[in-house]
Amino acid sequence: MIQYAKQFIDKSDINSVIAALKSEFLTQGPRVKSFEDQIKKFTSSKYAIAVNSATSALHLSCMALGIKKGDNVWTSPITFVASANCALYCGANIDFVDIDPYNFNINIDELKKKLAVAKKNKVLPKVLIVVHFAGLPCEMKLIKKLSLEYKFKIIEDASHAIGASYLNGKIGSNKYSDITIFSFHPVKIITTGEGGMVLTNNKKTASLIENLRSHGIVRNKPKKNASKLFFYSQINLGFNYRMTDIQAALGISQLRKINSFIKERNKLARNYKKLLSKNSCISYQKNSLKNTVSSYHLFVIRLRSKKYSQVQAFNFMKKSRINVNLHYIPVYLHPYYKNLGFKSGLCPEAEQYFKETMTLPLYPGLKYSDQLKISQLLNSIC
C-alpha cells in the first residue's frame, strides 16, 4: 500500500530524542525554549510559543485576540474543523468565506462582497482565520488591506505551510497578520509527534498566550527573607497546553531538515504535474502569485471524468493499493455544524470542490516509480 502521507524520521531524530530522555527534563525545559528560538529565527517572527497541538494554538490565539461570546469569526470551509472550532470554544459565532476554484484558498472577491454586506448589517468579523491550504499561501497583502479597512484581526492557520514563502518572506513572519500558527502533526512538513506553535510580533499577545498555555500561572522570583513558601499564582483561567522537551528535541532535529523537505515536496509536485499534464480531466491547485513557494503539504487534484465518479475513482485507487485521501468536507456540512443551522448552498465552490477532489500520496521518500504507477492509474480513469 502506498500511503498518502507519513513522517520522515532518521537516526539524527532518534538520537535527539534519546538525548532528551537522558537529560534532567522530560516536560517543559530548555529544549522547548531552544525550539521556539529556532522557529523565530527561521520565520523572522519576534515571538514564538510552543504548545501541544495546532488546535491549542488556534484556541489560545482566539483568546489572546479577545474573542468572546457574540463576536464573529470567519474562516475557509475547506480546512480541518479545528480552524472553526476554536471560535466556538470562545463562545463566538463562526461563518465561512467560499474558496477560489483554482488555488482552493479563500476567494478574495467573495471576501470583499461578504465584508461589504456584513458592514451594512453591522456583523463584521472580529477575526478572520486565513488557511494556507495544502501549503500554498493566501494573498495576504490584499487580505491585510481589507483588515485595515474593515477593522478585523488576522490569524494565519499555517498548519500546512511551515517552510512556505510569500513575496520572498517566510510564512510565520506575521508581516500581514497578527498571529500565525503551525502544526507539527506526523503528516505535516516537520513533526514533534503532536505539537504546535504560535507566532506573533506583539509582545503583549505573546505574554498572554504564554501565560494561558500553562494554567494561567505566573511564577515570581522569591524575595530575600520571604515568609511565603510558594512563589507562583494564577492570574488567568488557563490550560495545560504545554509542549514537552521530548517533543521539542524531535522538532529541533526535524527543523534542520526542513529546507530539504520543502525542496523534495516541490520536486514531487512537479513530477505529478508532468506525469498528468496530458490528462484533460485532471486539474490541480494553481499558484499564480510571484515570489511565492508552496510547502506542498498536500497534492490535491480535481477529477472531472465521464467514466468514473469521485467515489468510483477512490475505490479504484484503493483497490490498486493507493491510499488516496480527501481534504476536506466543507466544515459546515459536518453533522455538528448542521445542527447549528448551517445548510448546503452556503459556499457553492467549496461544495463543488468536495465532489471532485482527491489527495494523492506525497511525502519525502516517495519513489518516482510510485508516482508513475499512481499517474498511470489516474490516466486510465480518464
Q: Which CATH superfamily is domain 259-381 in?
A: Aspartate Aminotransferase, domain 1 (3.90.1150.10)
Which residues lie below 8 Å from residue 135, measured CB to CB, with a gap of 6+?
160, 161, 163, 164, 189, 265, 294, 295, 296, 297, 298
Average confidence (pLDDT) over 348-372:
98
Rounded Cα–Cα distance for residues 161 and 182 (Å): 7
Domain range 11-257, its CATH number among 3.30.1330.10, 3.40.640.10, 3.30.565.10, 2.40.170.20? 3.40.640.10
Domain boundaries, the chain: 11-257, 259-381
pLDDT of residue 308: 87
User: How much is the CA Rg of the chain, to the nearest whole Å?
Assistant: 22
Per-residue pLDDT band at 358 (split at 50, 70, 90):
very high
Strands (E), 72-195: 72-75, 93-96, 127-131, 153-157, 165-166, 169-170, 179-183
Taking only the tens place, the pLDDT of each residue in 99-153 is 999 999 999 999 999 999 999 999 999 999 999 999 999 999 999 999 999 999 9
pLDDT of residue 224: 63
Taking only the tens place, the pLDDT of each residue in 246-283 is 999 999 999 999 999 999 999 999 999 999 999 999 99
pLDDT of residue 14: 98
Average confidence (pLDDT) over 172-183:
98
Q: How far apart are the first and last CA of the chain?
A: 22
- What single-letter amino acid sits at 133? F
- What single-letter amino acid sits at 103? N
Per-residue pLDDT band at 306 (split at 50, 70, 90):
confident
For residue 97, give the nearest of 67, 77, 80, 70 by alpha carbon: 77
pLDDT of residue 167: 97
For residue 152, give the nearest of 115, 121, 189, 182 by alpha carbon: 115
* pLDDT above 90: percentage of residues in the chain: 94
Q: Is the pLDDT of residue 220 over 80?
A: no
Mean pLDDT of the chain: 96
pLDDT of residue 223: 63
Q: Is the pLDDT of residue 21 over 70?
A: yes
Better-predicted residue by pLDDT, 65 or 27: 65
Is this prediction's pTM over 0.85?
Answer: yes
Cβ atoms of residues 132 and 158 within 8 Å: yes
